[in-house]
Every structure is written in C-alpha cells, then in structure tokens.
Chains A and B, each alone.
Chain A
C-alpha cells in the first residue's frame, strides 16, 4: 500500500503511519503541506491520501479529483479529537472516509481499506453511469436518423438501419456518431442553427 500523509502535526502523522505498520508491502510519505509533496504525486502514485481535517489543503486535493486530467485517488480525512463527534457523524452520514485519532492500529488500516474500496466502487458507478447515458443518447440519435432516412428516402426501417450501419463501417466511426452527423446536416439543410 502506498500512502501519503499530509499533516502539519508530526505526531499525528506518525500515529497514522503507526496504524499501518503491519501492512506489507508499505510505502509511506509524509509532508506538512500539499505543496511540499505535489511534485512527487505523479511518480509516487499513492493508493490513498490521508490528510488532516484541519489542513487548508483539502480544497486543493478535492480539485484534483474534480479535474478529469489528473488520476483521482481516494482521500481520507484525519480528524483530531478536538472535533468531538465529527468522525461518528461522518460514518453515520455514509462518509466513511474519516478516521479519528486514538484509534487502534488495526482500525486505521481497515478504515483506509474501506475508503479505497468505496472509492473504486464510486469510480466504477460513475463510469457505468456515463456509459449508460452515452448509450441512451446514441440509441436516440439512431432512432431519429432512421426516421429521417425513412421519410426522405422512402425506405423501411430495416433498410434505414442497414444504411446507417454501412455508413458507420465505411467511415470507421460509431453508428451513434454517424447518426448525429446526419441529423446535424439535415438540420443545416433545413435552415436550423443558421
């Protein structure tokens, strides 16, 4: 497991590291701020990032997750005991990615593992959702393009579909994209979108 721990408080960072001591193989890097470790991020490719809840770098880390260009990593927040109830509330609210100090070593490890698997699951759900949306949009375009061809060329549905499929194969592009082009050009010919 490759872990980055960002915490200005050395003692707390050491505590998290201690909780992972029996993980093999293990590579831990510690930094007091995100800036201090930013350059190492791409080459180190951590499995999980642990950050102190009171670090102002949280927003920066989140933005990396939002930017599609960066490789997103699960982030676990480390809560100080000075925020009573926060970790409990987080677990209750389904935000598993909070770990509170004073946990036994075994719990630190399991919280990180839960956070990682939950993150993988969320990533997969997101990809599946994007794909499902794209498939649906493509099916709609194909249906509309078929309708257009049937009307303009006076052919039946099967023939219209064959025509679209042939166009797709000839140009080596997905059938949804070909259907979209057809609809766009038809729109232009009719005077839409000037």
Chain B
C-alpha cells in the first residue's frame, strides 16, 4: 500500500530527548520507510503546539502533558491532539546555583550527603530567608504543562516547601537556563538534558537530583500529531512511528551512544558542545564538578523497558498533577481525556508491523517495583526496570482524584 504522503515536516526543541527524530533522519530510518522528512527546530513549545494545531507542522516532539492540556482547552486554542508514542523516559534534573548549593551544605551538611537528595536543606534556607525578610528564591521550568514543572513541585512539596507560596516559579527557554543561572536571575531550574550538565560544566550550577532518582522510569516527551492528521494519513503515521521506534532502539544501544552525542551536538539539533551532550547519554553524569553520579543509573531511556509505549497511566499521572496544582478542577474528564489523547492502539499497530514487542495492557500501577521485572502482558515478554517514586508512593490510574488529594501541599480546586 502506498503512503498518503511521503513528505513530512516535523518540529522539535533543542534537547537530548529529540533523539528519535534526529536519529530517524540522520541514520536513514525515515528514508527506509519511504518518508522524506524535514525537521524544523522550533524556538518555543507554544510554537510547536500552534504549528501542529494549524497544520504548519505535521507532528512534533512535545512535552508529554502538552497534548493533554491542549485537548482540555487550558493551553492555547483547544485542539484534538494525540500522542501515539512516547519519545523517552527520564532525562531531566533539578539544578541549583553553586551559591545556593553551598548555602544548603552549610545549613544541613548531613542531609546533603543523602541520595536521592531531598529538598529539606532548601526548606531550611527558605525559612531562614523568610525570617530575614529576604525575597523568595526563583526557580525556572520550561513550560507550565511539563514534567519539569510537576517534578520540581513534587520534590519541593515532599520537603514541606510550598512551590506557590515559598518561592517563585517562572518559565524560561531551556537553552537560556544556564545563562540566567549565571546572571543570578534565577536560583535553580528543572530542565531536560543537556542543560543541567551545561550548568555544571560552566561552573555555575550543581545538580541536586536526576529525574531517574525521583521516579525510576518517569515519562518525559511524546511524539504528537493532530487526530485529523492521524485519520487522514493512517499509513503515513504508521510509517513515521515505525521509523521512530527503530531510531529509538538504535539510540538506546550502548555502542551507539557516542555517535548519538555527535549527532545531537550538531548545530542543526541541540547545538551544544559534544562532551556536554554526551554527559547524560553515557556513563555517570556528574552532580557537580568532580562529583560523578552513579554509573548504574538510566539517565535517559529511549527504547528499553517499553519506553516508547504511550502508557495511559502516564497520561493519568500528568492529569493528576494538573488536578493537584489547580490547573484543572474536579469537572475535568480525566479518564476520557487520557483515552482520547494517549493512543496505545496506534503504537501497537506500528510495532506489530515491525515485529517489535508491545504491551497488551494500556496502563500499569506505577511505583510498585523495587527491582527489575518482566511485563508478561505483551506480544512478547518485555524486560522492565525498577519504577519506584522517591517518596515511596505508588500511582494507580484508576484513582487519580484520590492520588491528587493525598498530599499535604497542593492547590486542589473544589
């Protein structure tokens, strides 16, 4: 059967997690599926969203919560977006300025030794600043509907820091995080690779905690298109997904990570020094200068552990975050939105054409596995990774409201 279209224009943001798109183009996976793809580096997530909604882009690298928020009508013009594939797990980190890190060490030397590091030393600093009448600290994230925003809030609130009252959270473009940290405009940030490593390399920042330490295998970016595009071009979409699945598998081969760093570092993609890009792809990326992280951690995952599968439980977790932080109210249709946006059915069809294994269930309970396990409910058993949350919690997609209400700090609407 011939494809409805062979020429596509796909958007991405300069981050290591655009790898499946970059690799599919550079290593010929798009081409071997009969696709000629123009990759367009975009300046902002809002541009990505608008251009995909309007058809100026056929599809794009997206923050996983974004297509959900667009569907709900709380992020730009409402549009029927779908996420038929996940692009990566993990990859982000929380970084603070070296000055703030030093202050945290002086205040609580012992808790600063713990891994994963909690935000308790930060809570101590914040309380002291309040007592002295100093202005609140400022942290930056990349977008209100991003795993980074939720990750930072989760980490802060666990230590008793109210992210809305005790500090200021602002939005800053990923590539500008390190410059703003160096200038003292912001005291910390949560962003995807390679920008945390860049702050460490520049000597301006220290990584407090990696996403992999907060949630063993947490979702991050997805590949998004409109429902209209998927309906009008089912074969083209399937071919695109096949190319991206093969590219993700290539990007996860340890032997390919060096070449991957070279591809991504190119000015067409991330446009950053290769050794900085490589840091979160290979070995043990550092917490600080001279302080490497553990080398047995999966800092970014593109393919292994069913990483490309758009788990509905991930969608519901993001929607539960929106509930927890007051971005949506109890009237929002959580199950319906997750089902309309996350499309495991489309992923399974594409994986079947490749003969690649795919999960047969749409969701899983998150945070239950302390060690490696096997997903048997799949077309072939899939090795899975530990998936614990740093606070020991778990997440059942059947009860998002209960989960969102189960924290001491939150902005639940009534």
Contacts and interface: CB of A to CB of B under 8 A. Distances in A.
B331 interface: yes
B56 A63 contact: no
Contact of B142 (A53, A59, A83, A90): A59
Nearest to A94: B77
A4 to B, nearest CB: 17
Contact of B171 (A60, A83, A85, A93): A60
Interface in A38-82: 53-60, 62-63, 66-67, 77
Contact of A63 (B51, B77, B171, B331): B171
A93 B144 contact: no
Contacts of B55: 89, 93
Contacts of A181: none
Given A35-B185, A133-B331, A59 B143 contact: yes
Residue among B44, B144, B175, B180 with max Cβ neighbours from chain A (10 Å): B44
Given A89-B55, A94-B77, A62 B50 contact: no
Nearest to B185: A35
Given A66-B144, A89-B55, A92-B54, A58 B46 contact: yes
Interface in B165-206: 170-173, 175-176, 180, 185
B47 interface: yes
Contact of B44 (A59, A67, A85, A137): A59
A39 to B, nearest CB: 11
Contacts of B171: 59-60, 62-63
A96 B138 CA distance: 34
Contacts of B327: 66
B43 interface: yes
Contact of B46 (A62, A85, A92): A62
Given A63-B143, A90-B50, A94-B77, A58 B56 contact: no
B77 A93 contact: yes
A167 interface: no
Contacts of B53: 93, 95
A25 B42 CA distance: 36
Interface in B46-105: 46-47, 50-51, 53-56, 74, 76-77
Contact of A56 (B44, B144, B414): B44
A59 B54 contact: no
Contacts of A55: 43-44
B77 A95 contact: yes
Nearest to A92: B54
B54 A89 contact: yes
B56 A89 contact: yes
Nearest to A64: B171
A86 B173 contact: no
Contact of A85 (B56, B76, B77): B56
A54 B47 CA distance: 8
Interface in A88-120: 89-90, 92-95
A60 B47 contact: no
Residue among A59, A77, A83 with max Cβ neighbours from chain B (10 Å): A59
A83 B55 CA distance: 12
Given A55-B44, A58-B46, A86 B51 contact: yes
Nearest to A68: B326
A114 B26 CA distance: 43
B31 to A, nearest CB: 25
Interface string A128-169: 000001000100000000000000000000000000000000
> Dominant SS at the B interface?
loop
A56 B143 contact: no
A113 to B, nearest CB: 19
Contacts of A66: 74, 144, 327
B1 to A, nearest CB: 29
A63 B144 contact: yes
B140 to A, nearest CB: 9
B45 interface: yes
A111 to B, nearest CB: 16
Contacts of B74: 66
Contact of B54 (A62, A90, A137): A90
Contacts of A58: 43-44, 46-47
Contacts of A83: 56
A60 B331 contact: no
Contact of B176 (A56, A77, A90, A95): A56
Contacts of B77: 93-95
B54 A56 contact: no
A62 B180 CA distance: 19
Given A35-B185, A63-B144, A94-B77, A86 B54 contact: yes
A62 B172 CA distance: 11
A180 B76 CA distance: 34
Contacts of A93: 53-55, 77
Contacts of A60: 170-173
B192 to A, nearest CB: 14
25 contacts: A53-B43, A55-B43, A56-B176, A57-B173, A58-B43, A58-B44, A58-B46, A59-B44, A60-B170, A60-B171, A62-B144, A62-B171, A63-B143, A63-B144, A63-B170, A63-B171, A66-B144, A77-B50, A83-B56, A86-B56, A89-B56, A90-B54, A93-B54, A94-B77, A95-B54
Given A62-B143, A62-B171, A93-B54, 11 more contacts: A55-B44, A56-B175, A59-B173, A63-B144, A63-B170, A77-B50, A85-B56, A86-B56, A89-B55, A90-B50, A133-B329
